[in-house]
Amino acid sequence: MANLKNLNNGRPYMRTRLIEATRDHLASHIRKHVMNVEVMLANPIVIPEHTDIMAAIENELAHISEYHDKLEVLEHYFKDE
């Protein structure tokens, strides 16, 4: 079985990789929802099923907030120094 320690201050390799993967995952969701808002702002008639564009934008902002909060918690409590 491979050694799970790397040279990163003796921290377990798997812990480091999981934190990085989680950070990337959350940041990707944020970028996706930011892009959705940008698309709606640039062309509000592009999505016909969203007749209430303000509600659609607010929904996307809620998703951004959710993932941003999770990212902040990860960075605060699970620092990978």
pLDDT reading at 8 higher than 60: no
pTM of structure: 0.78
Whether 6 maps to a domain, the answer reads no
Whether 67 maps to a domain, the answer reads yes
pLDDT reading at 7 higher than 90: no
Residue 81 CA to residue 72 CA, distance in Å, equals: 15
Whether 8 maps to a domain, the answer reads no
Q: Return the higher-pLDDT residue of 58 and 6.
A: 58
SS3 23: helix
Phi, psi of 58, deg, nearest 5: -60, -40
48 is in which domain, residue-wise?
13-77
Count the domains in the chain.
1
Whether 36 maps to a domain, the answer reads yes
- Give the per-residue pLDDT at 78: 94
Whether 39 maps to a domain, the answer reads yes
Whether 1 maps to a domain, the answer reads no
Whether 3 maps to a domain, the answer reads no
Whether 59 maps to a domain, the answer reads yes
